[in-house]
Amino acid sequence: MDKDVYVVVSTSIIDCYKRSSTDVRTEHVVGYDNARRHALLQYLEEFEPEDVSYYDVELPETINIDEMWEFFQNNAETLFEGEYINDPRFRVEIERVETTYTTPGDLTAALGAWQEYVEENETEA
């Protein structure tokens, strides 16, 4: 099982020639498959099925997780093209996060210098 941590970043831009605004939502997810499912959910919540008819894109023959993921990955630029801004109105990115693990041994070694300092200062006082 993939125990790596991924960040799913959903960026939504209100495409207005007077006042555009950006909303960024970040979620931490364990495992790439979970991150991909979460990213797909963001696309599905943002884009209504009936809106596809406005675009020159081909729908997948089978509606399942893998096919819909490919559909949005291949068509996101077209489906979310901005009218007044030069960025997509919506995008989802998945990034792997470098994780660090601290063991009790690491802490014991780091606390050693503190312990020595305290012991030295107790004898001087």
125 part of a folded domain: no
19 part of a folded domain: yes
44 part of a folded domain: yes
23 part of a folded domain: yes
User: Residues with Cβ < 8 Å from 37, sequence gap 6 or more?
Assistant: 65
117 part of a folded domain: no
pTM of the predicted protein model: 0.73
Nearest 10 degrees: Cα torsion 62, 64, 70, 71? 60
| Domain interval for residue 53 | 5-100
112 part of a folded domain: no
> Would you call 66 helix, strand, or coil by DSSP?
helix
pLDDT in tens, 2-50: 789 999 999 998 867 677 788 999 999 999 999 999 999 999 999 988 8
Asked whether the beta carbons of 69 and 97 are under 8 A apart, the reply is: no
What's the rounded mean pLDDT across residues 55-80? 92
78 part of a folded domain: yes
87: its two tokens: 């960025």
116 part of a folded domain: no
> What are 6's strand-pairing partners?
29, 96
The H-assigned helical ranges of 29-125 are 32-46, 65-79, 104-124
Q: What is the overall mean pLDDT for the chain?
A: 88
Q: How many domains does the chain have?
A: 1
Asked whether the beta carbons of 21 and 14 are under 8 A apart, the reply is: yes
